[in-house]
């Protein structure tokens, strides 16, 4: 089996070590005997979404985010069709804002989004910087993450996570992220998939079986990742594990 990951705007949207997410997917798929190709694509490239099994996008500065948005707008219809058809999108950090109606900048400029989802993002005078402990429907395990963003997301109809501890889409929100068909989006930055092996295992199984439902999936090796996960919970969220 071959699997193609498009790492979109890899050189512009890489603010908080998001390449870790691509690294974990590649290695784990390869350990299953799958041939993985990563296409590193940016604003100088032509995109063809039909060629990719998974699209990944990470977090960028406000300037880089605007450059990426300008480029991605050219593919608006293609992106919309692909999401409707069930193409896998994993989108982290402020990249999720590109898929909404608009981004209202700090200078009160309105940047037109791809208008695939109904939400809009608003850049604030404050930053949301916070540890996150979330829950989702795909695993019983907590989701560990970190938020570091200038904007809030308002009007989201398809949340991905429930906030257990932390901030969410805006201060005191009860949810965070976007889940629609195979589109998974979240403000959680950095190596989210490395830090949450159970969530990643779920995504990997789904990606593989969507491509070939007769593929024999071997046991995944997440030993060190689980040690890191358990250690972190033990050190920082003790009250949540004893419950």
Partner 1 sequence: MKKLSILAGKSVLFLGDKMHRGSSLPGAVALKLDKELMKKIVLPKKVIAVTGSCGKGSTSKMIAEVYQKLGYKVAHNYREGNLAYGVMTTLIEYSNLNGVMDADVLVLEVDERYTKLVFPIIKPDVVVITNISRDQPPRQGHFDLVLEDIKKALTEDMHLILNADDPYLQKIVLDQKFKQVSYYSLEKNKYSTKTSLCGNLNMTHCPKCHQPLTYDYYQFEAIGAYHCSKCSFKTPKSIHHGTKMNYEKRELTIDDTYQVTIPYDTLYCVYNTLAAFTTLSVEGIDPHQISEAISESSYNKKNFNHYQYKSREIYVLNTKNENSSTFNHALMFLNQHKKNLKTIVIGWDVISLRYAYNDLSWLYDIDFEVLKKHDIDRIICLGINRYDLATRLKYSGIDTKKIFVYEDLKKAQGSIQKRTKGDVYAIINFNYMDDFNKMMKDGEK
What mask, x for binding partner 1 by CB under 8 A, covers residues 73 to 102?
Answer: ------------------------------
Is 124 among the residues that bind partner 1 (CB under 8 A)?
no
Comparison of 18 and 83: residue with beta carbon closer to partner 1? 18
Binding partner 1 (rule: CB under 8 A), the pick from 31, 35, 51, 224 is: 224
Q: What's the closest the beta carbon of residue 117 comes to partner 1, in angstroms?
A: 25
- Which of these segments, 14-22, 72-80, 151-159, 202-210, binds partner 1 (CB under 8 A)? 14-22
What mask, x for binding partner 1 by CB under 8 A, covers residues 176 to 215?
Answer: -------------xxx--xx--------------------
In this structure, are residues 215 and 197 in contact, taking their beta carbons and an 8 Å threshold? no
User: Quick one: three-class SS letters along the chain?
Assistant: CEEEEEEECCCCCCCCCCHHHHHHHHHHHHHCCCEEEEEEECCCCCCCHHHCCEEEECCCCHHHHHHHHHHHHHHHHHHHHHHHHCCEEEEEHHHHHHHCCEEECCCCCEEECCCCCCCEEEEEEEEEEEEEEEEECCEEEEEEEEEEEEEEEECCCCCCEEEEECCCCCCCCCEECEEECCEEEECCCCCHHHHCHHHHHHHHHHHHHHHCCCCCCCCCCCHHHHHHHHHHHHHHCHHHHHC
Is 37 among the residues that bind partner 1 (CB under 8 A)?
no
Number of residues that bind partner 1 (CB under 8 A): 39
Comparison of 46 and 157: residue with beta carbon closer to partner 1? 46
Is 109 among the residues that bind partner 1 (CB under 8 A)?
no
Binding partner 1 (rule: CB under 8 A), the pick from 140, 218, 235, 243 is: 235
Distance in angstroms (rounded) separating the CA atoms of residues 145 and 131: 6
- Which of these segments, 39-47, 116-124, 172-180, 199-207, binds partner 1 (CB under 8 A)? 39-47
Q: What's the closest the beta carbon of residue 81 comes to partner 1, in angstroms?
A: 28
Q: Which residue has the tokens 């900048």?
A: 105
Binding partner 1 (rule: CB under 8 A), the pick from 63, 107, 108, 239 is: 63
Comparison of 44 and 108: residue with beta carbon closer to partner 1? 44
Residue ranges in contact with partner 1 by CB under 8 A = 11-12, 14-20, 23-24, 27, 42-44, 61-63, 67, 127, 129-131, 146, 148, 150, 189-191, 194-195, 224-225, 227-228, 231-232, 235-236
């Amino acid at each position: 089996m071959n699997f193609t990951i498009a790492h979109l705007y890899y050189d512009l949207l890489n603010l908080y070590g998001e390449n870790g997410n691509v690294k974990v997917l590649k290695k784990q798929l390869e350990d299953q005997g799958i041939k993985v190709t990563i296409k590193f694509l940016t604003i100088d490239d032509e995109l063809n979404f039909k060629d990719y099994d998974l699209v990944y996008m990470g977090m960028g500065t406000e300037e880089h985010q605007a450059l990426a948005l300008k480029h991605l707008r050219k593919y608006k219809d293609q992106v919309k069709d692909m999401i409707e058809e069930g193409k896998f999108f994993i989108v982290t950090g402020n990249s999720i804002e590109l898929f909404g109606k608009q981004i209202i900048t700090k200078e009160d400029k309105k940047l037109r989004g791809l208008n695939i989802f109904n939400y809009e993002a608003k850049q604030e005078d404050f930053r949301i910087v916070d540890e996150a402990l979330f829950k989702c429907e795909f695993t019983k395990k907590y989701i560990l993450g970190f938020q570091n963003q200038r904007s809030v997301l308002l009007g989201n109809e398809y949340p991905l996570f429930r906030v257990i501890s932390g901030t969410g889409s805006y201060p005191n929100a009860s949810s965070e992220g976007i889940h629609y068909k195979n589109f998974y989006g979240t403000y959680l930055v950095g190596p989210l998939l490395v830090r949450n092996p159970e969530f990643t295992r779920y995504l990997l199984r789904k990606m593989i079986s969507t491509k070939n439902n007769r593929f024999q999936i071997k046991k995944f090796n997440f030993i060190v990742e689980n040690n890191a996960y358990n250690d972190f919970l033990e050190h920082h969220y003790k009250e949540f594990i004893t419950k």
